[in-house]
Structure 1
């Protein structure tokens, strides 16, 4: 709140006829009274300003000044998102209770996170319901949040999946109903749909934006060629192009984000929202002596993860993680914090989505913000040397 007052010594009260000489006789008193009033007004204005500041602080608003969170543009759009976001994959409506979900969202929001990502398929739509319930219960201002969801798998019927115009419109309506929201900030087309012409996808996404159901649209798990095709179609027919791609990115998955997407970022402004920075928990270090019974990899639906960890490649990855842990120790951080900060060193990465199942894990991961300034070129080179998987971009071949 900004309060301004214009006060002058002689303009507070206009003299009536016949009072001019009387006022002159007492002008020192009048002047001092005017100055007193001015000081009073100034004090009121100052107190209003400080009250407003304290009010915002008590609300623990998502501001960089109060939380230390860093904000970046989503691709080259004007939308500012926290460089760390909270994903609801696996957790909301899955492994954790609604109470823990609320605790996680509260910790994230009060730490400056404004980006919350979900999808119509997560827990059969329950993740969206829980997300919406928490937002309403906490009474957070909708304008302070960036809510994103993904469309593709909506139901069992043939017409309840895919990226055809019908499902994009109906699917997004369903997501909005479950979240009790009027709009989402970004709607993602989750995986390309070979059954639907690209023009139909882009036109449907443009329609939901024009109808106020979404602010922007993006892609998820698309190739650079498919994203470029969507951009070309948008330009050809004067439609709205995607602003970002959701892509897996971590120590052991680098090719796409480091070689293909930077070119799209510089040419057409498509940024990256990356997910799985800890490679489904592999990078936490908890699997260095096998698979603990309480871990995700021990559960039946994650048999593939257990097999991946126990494979020869998995054992080699664990050996590399032990070496990377020494770098983390040198920087005064944990291995997960190093891994997340490493993802954020990439200029094209707008935000990294965190997937936590408990408060201490989320708090630790959010601490990666403090590690970003320590991610020097020298540290990045050390990490590359240990990993031995740095992809070669076109620029590397030119040198």
Structure 2
């Protein structure tokens, strides 16, 4: 397992991070979830990503229990705050000082730790002054409850403004967590150049496009039983933008490229995002331990330039690259 520095900091994280969105506490039983975490540890992963909203706080509990007994200093644990949690009252979401201060304590309790290595704003809060948000994050850091801060799905302008305030407050905003894959490249033209300038790294989610880039969804065929596309708890909604014959047909053209590199389709997808030098890590999830074991093999893979060109040619115009999609996919107001 390879390590990379996270932003302009001295913190190293594994270039493949284990994340438990949409699985732990909802889709996968606790025993299976723990087995996946153990597989990640066995594969050399020491960096783990979660959020308070995942399974309405249960995912943090499952991760905390699964990591119990591990040497804390040998792990890098990330969590996030913004989306509604608990009874979802008017102050149970957003990035107000009240919600941040209450949420970090809840996350630490569920994760069974005194601090997280990275505390991330899960979205931009249009209803809270950014100064209030960043001051609250600064106080969390100074209290020793988080070591660094990051953001998720913020635009380039939002990242720049947050980074400036963090610097003025004497804390480090070192990461951005956007969606990024062969099919979804909206960060490349604005977010990545801004982050390179500021010393901020990407920790990307959905590098396999919620499973689409495994090639298991074939045009004209029934959906695989138990797959993300059949999940009525949220998975099907997340994947539907890719579930059309044009996209799925193009993805099938990646198979000979993967075979030529002696990689599975999933390994190719994870290795592809890691070619971006602004990336610190790609987040992988799993419902079975063997998925972790296979996907970590993408660590350290160098894809030749001719194969990178072949991937672009195979996917053609189904790739989404409009930078405006980051803002469009962000909440315009708090959900509660």
Note if 1:322 corresponds to 2:240. Answer: no
Shift of 1:303: 4.3
Name the residue aligned to 2:176: 245
Equivalent residue for 2:308, pick from 380, 384, 387: 380
Equivalent residue for 2:226, pick from 294, 298, 301: 294
Query: Are the aligned partners of 2:64 and 2:111 in contact in 1 as well (CA < 8 Å)?
Result: yes
Shift of 1:241: 4.1
- Structure 1 length-normalised TM: 0.76
Separation in structure 2 between the aligned mates of residue 300 and residue 182 of structure 1, nearest angstrom:
35
Separation in structure 2 between the aligned mates of residue 105 and residue 299 of structure 1, nearest angstrom:
22
Separation in structure 1 between the aligned mates of residue 10 and residue 230 of structure 2, nearest angstrom:
43
Query: Are the aligned partners of 1:277 and 1:340 in contact in 2 as well (CA < 8 Å)?
Result: yes
Name the residue aligned to 1:100: 32
Name the residue aligned to 2:191: 261
> How does 1:55-94 map onto structure 2 within 5 Å?
69-94=1-26
Name the residue aligned to 1:304: 237
The Cα offsets for residues 316-342 of structure 1, whole Å up to 9 and x where unpaired, read as 111111111110011111111001000
Query: Are the aligned partners of 1:203 and 1:239 in contact in 2 as well (CA < 8 Å)?
Result: no
Note if 1:349 corresponds to 2:279. Answer: yes
Note if 1:212 corresponds to 2:144. Answer: yes
Query: Are the aligned partners of 2:228 and 2:236 in contact in 1 as well (CA < 8 Å)?
Result: no
Separation in structure 2 between the aligned mates of residue 259 and residue 308 of structure 1, nearest angstrom:
21
Q: Which has the higher contact order (CA 8 A, sep 6+)?
A: 2
Shift of 1:309: 4.8
- Structure 1, unpaired ranges of 5+: 1-68, 394-399
Relative to structure 1, the CA distance from residue 303 to residue 336 in structure 2 (aligned partners, 3 Å threshold; closer, same or farther) is closer
The number of aligned residues is: 316
Shift of 1:265: 2.8
Name the residue aligned to 2:114: 182
Q: For residue 259 of structure 1, give the secondary structure of its aligned residue in structure 2.
A: coil
Name the residue aligned to 2:64: 132
Separation in structure 2 between the aligned mates of residue 286 and residue 126 of structure 1, nearest angstrom:
29
- Structure 2 length-normalised TM: 0.90
Separation in structure 1 between the aligned mates of residue 41 and residue 91 of structure 2, nearest angstrom:
36
Structure label with greater radius of gyration = 1
- Structure 2, unpaired ranges of 5+: 324-336
Shift of 1:392: 9.6
Shift of 1:365: 0.8
Q: For residue 182 of structure 1, give the secondary structure of its aligned residue in structure 2.
A: coil
Shift of 1:262: 2.5
Query: Are the aligned partners of 2:210 and 2:239 in contact in 1 as well (CA < 8 Å)?
Result: no
Following TM superposition, the consecutive aligned residue runs of length 4 or more in structure 1 with deviations greater than 4 angstroms are: 389-393
Relative to structure 1, the CA distance from residue 251 to residue 185 in structure 2 (aligned partners, 3 Å threshold; closer, same or farther) is same
Shift of 1:152: 1.0
Separation in structure 2 between the aligned mates of residue 119 and residue 305 of structure 1, nearest angstrom:
17
Name the residue aligned to 1:222: 154
**Aligned residues: CA RMSD:** 1.7
Equivalent residue for 1:278, pick from 197, 208, 221: 208
Name the residue aligned to 1:367: 297
Name the residue aligned to 2:265: 335
Q: For residue 72 of structure 1, give the secondary structure of its aligned residue in structure 2.
A: strand
- Higher mean alpha-carbon deviation, 378-387 vs 70-79, is at 378-387
Relative to structure 1, the CA distance from residue 303 to residue 383 in structure 2 (aligned partners, 3 Å threshold; closer, same or farther) is closer
Which structure dedicates a bigger proportion of its chain to helix?
1
Q: For residue 77 of structure 2, give the secondary structure of its aligned residue in structure 1.
A: strand
Query: Are the aligned partners of 1:202 and 1:239 in contact in 2 as well (CA < 8 Å)?
Result: no
Query: Are the aligned partners of 2:115 and 2:145 in contact in 1 as well (CA < 8 Å)?
Result: yes
Shift of 1:209: 0.4
Note if 1:169 corresponds to 2:169. Answer: no
Separation in structure 2 between the aligned mates of residue 354 and residue 303 of structure 1, nearest angstrom:
18
Q: For residue 352 of structure 1, give the secondary structure of its aligned residue in structure 2.
A: strand
